[in-house]
Amino acid sequence: MKKIAAIGAFLFLLLNANYAQEFRFGFQVSPNFTWMSSDDNRINGNGTNLGLKLGMLGEKYLDDDGRYAIVSGIGFAFNQGGTLQHDIGGNFWPNSELSRPELNNNDNALPDGVNLKYGLQFVEIPFALKMRTQEFGYIRYFVEIPRFVLGINTQAQGDISGEGNVDTEDENINDDVNFFNFSWGIGGGLEYTINDNTALVGGIFFQQGFLDLTDDAGRKALGAGETVAEDSRGTISNITIRIGVMF
């Protein structure tokens, strides 16, 4: 992870040195709210995570007026995910070695209505087209559309809660979460100019994931010893409040 951050910082500094009039870079410290959903109507979102995004941003302008830019960067997203409630119980994290032995390798381990909470960490690489207005006083308004984000999962923890004494927290579920996430979205906000080289940035962004983050190795318990594969598609959505500074 440190190598990825170092490479990103080097690229930003290199571009800034060579294209000082056309390239800006900056930093963000942005809280966000994430939730999960499923394409199975028996699995429903049941909770939101409060997360945080930290990272570097770079903007390569395409015109002399600074109206259009390509945006990219590198960052870290913490505590992403949410809670999924399974109307039908079973065994949904079979590849993970849970701290409670009775929950491992047992297709009847979790009861109907069980809640599975995901807390995920990603390295993220965004890519977007940015459009800005002319400056009004000290302010420019902007939108980023389309906006795509590639996420690389670096850590996954899970909590289980439900009836029947199955509660457990902070389980390592890396092996039951897929490695990549990819999302699309839109965002906008404003830049407040402090001086010729520095601006404060504030905005709000929405992202919708469209890759399945769940490993689909689990099984649902239908009763009488019968089980079926749990192959639903679980995705993450988020709303981010961007707080940053550009140089």
Pairing verdict, β 234-246 and 23-38: antiparallel
Tokens standing for residue 144: 């980023």
Stated pTM of the model: 0.89
Q: What pLDDT is attached to residue 17?
A: 47
What digits encode the pLDDT tens for the residues 3-25? 555 545 545 554 554 444 589 99
Percent of the chain surpassing pLDDT 70 = 91
Q: Tell the burial category of 104 from Cβ atoms under 10 Å away from its Cβ (0-12, 13-18, 19+).
A: middle
What digits encode the pLDDT tens for the residues 198-224? 999 999 999 999 999 999 899 999 888
Q: Tell the burial category of 211 from Cβ atoms under 10 Å away from its Cβ (0-12, 13-18, 19+).
A: middle
Number of H helices, E strands in the chain: 1, 13
What digits encode the pLDDT tens for the residues 42-84? 999 999 999 999 999 999 999 988 999 999 999 999 999 999 9
Q: CA–CA separation, 5 vs 52, rounded Å? A: 17
